[in-house]
A and B are shown apart, each in its own frame.
Chain A
Amino acid sequence: MAKKEVSFYPGCSSQTGASSSNMMRATQTMCDELDITLNEIPDWNCCGASIGYGGGGELPRLTLSARNIALSEQHNPGQDMVATCAACWLSTREAKERLHEDQNMFRDANTALNEANLKLNNQTPVRHMVEVLIEDIGFEAIRAKVKKPLEGLKIASYVGCQTNRPFGIAEESFENPVYLDHLIDSVGAESIPTYEKKVQCCGGALAFSEPEKSQEMIHGIIEAAYDHGADLIATPCPLCQANVEIYQDQINARFGSKFNMPVVYYSQLMSVAFGRNSKDSALDGQIIRAKSLEDIAGK
């Protein structure tokens, strides 16, 4: 496999001691195995996420992402900018496209960037890690890397919103994307293509501000996974992962359910399947432990 280098945008939640630091660890492991070098963009900043609109207007938010793209272009020239967080990817790609379509906005963003001595060319592709896996690496190559197939595991693919809409992964449908099912199948587990909550919203940032409404949706997401006999839920999105995993106690209290469903990242599945141990696969980062994965990793 040819060595691949990408300009990596980890995002705030991936930092040490942050809510998806476990994803970062598993992503690193997965990329080591697939010979993908992650060149972190120096001094990257927050993308503004999907909640930044309240305090920040359109141009300030676009400028935040423009700074990241500019830094990527400056420090990692010629490399695709790649994010693992749905919101990071979405905000950055949205900014890239908006600044491409609207030349006035592009000029204004550069005027602001100039204050930080930066300049945006806006020529860099902004991609999601999943795109790299599917388009550059391919399911076949992933399958070939599997040392410990995740046999006997039934996994609900929870794609969520922002990895899927509005851009999504090429060739996929908004209503029923199947790439995550294919990834699950590729590592030897059993996917649930008919899992009906695959693209249901978990509430996103509103899990914080509107917990009742969000937890009602999360309840449905987990319940449907149980209905399909899932052992695990897998997701590409850090906020999806956190929302669906960490509130299960509160949801159980609210709805009288007895949920104890592990929610993991695709990168964790791959790390385990590629033969790496629990720690490399960040299984210790689970709040609801993924025993079945730990068993395979421990073999």
Chain B
Amino acid sequence: MSDLNTAMTERYRSSFLKEVEANVEEGEWVKMCMQCGVCAGSCPLGNAWEHTPQKLFMMIRAGKREAVLSSDAMWMCTSCYNCIARCPRGLPITHIMHGLAHYAKRLGLSPKNQPTQQFAQIFWDNLMKKGRVNELKLGLSMYFKDGFGQGIKNAMANQKLGQNMMKAKRMSAMELFGGHSIKDTSGLQKMIKKAQEIEDAKIQGNS
């Protein structure tokens, strides 16, 4: 993906804003931010970020490409949609955050080992296998993302939680063996592959 990054840097040398407009979900809204800061004050994880949406938008306009795309701020989005509900300019801020996160990841610039980023990928891979999410495998993958040893530790720490869930029949060991699935997995996979191709071509075409 760093090839894509190089291509993009070349193409949009003069304007990171234009790059965002062309390649980031809802990116054409970034220029409409009026810097009031309501989003920053409305974010439940506002104190956990380095860059508020307001700042990210300003940085995009100031051409701070590297700082924006390597920021962990977008990955702190809980998708609570509070910023969208409150933005006086009607910017779809949540989607822009998702879009920026995805684009940074696509270019290989997002922060390494960022837990939400890892979880997001695990989630996507999980759902792509059977067309439906396998919660047990999802949980275990997350526990074991940092290796076997850490995985055991994590699993032990959450052992009671797991037992409780099993007892309440809200978790099933059977899920480890096959588990729920849609029938037309191949159709779904082909469909998503096609969608990805279309999207990739669009971004490549922009380069």
Contact = CB atoms under 8 A, between A and B. Distances in A.
Task: Check whether chain A touches chain B (CB < 8 angstroms).
Answer: yes
B169 A165 contact: no
B175 interface: yes
Contacts of B65: none
Interface string B159-200: 011001101111110110000101110011011111110110
A43 B184 CA distance: 7
A64 B142 CA distance: 23
Nearest to B94: A166
B188 A246 contact: no
A285 interface: yes
A203 B78 contact: yes
A13 B48 CA distance: 29
B44 A52 contact: no
Contact of A249 (B135, B160, B171): B160
A209 B139 CA distance: 10
Contacts of A204: 78-80
Interface string B107-131: 0000000011111110111011001
Contact of B135 (A19, A44, A247): A19
How many chain B residues sit at the interface, stated as a range, is 35 or more
Interface stretch (A53-61, A136-144, A183-191, A269-277): A53-61
B101 interface: yes
B89 interface: no
A67 B171 CA distance: 27
Contacts of A161: 78-82
Interface stretch (A32-40, A104-112, A122-130, A223-231): A104-112
Given A22-B169, A162-B81, A204-B80, 11 more contacts: A45-B182, A50-B78, A53-B99, A55-B124, A57-B199, A58-B199, A114-B194, A118-B187, A165-B82, A201-B45, A206-B78
27 contacts: A13-B135, A18-B171, A21-B169, A45-B132, A45-B188, A46-B127, A46-B131, A49-B123, A52-B120, A53-B98, A54-B124, A57-B195, A58-B199, A62-B195, A117-B187, A165-B85, A166-B92, A201-B80, A206-B76, A208-B142, A209-B118, A210-B45, A210-B48, A250-B161, A285-B170, A286-B168, A287-B168
Interface of B: 25, 44-45, 48, 75-76, 78-82, 84-86, 92, 94, 98-99, 101-102, 105-106, 115-121, 123-125, 127-128, 131-133, 135, 139, 142, 160-161, 164-165, 167-172, 174-175, 180, 182-184, 187-188, 190-196, 198-199
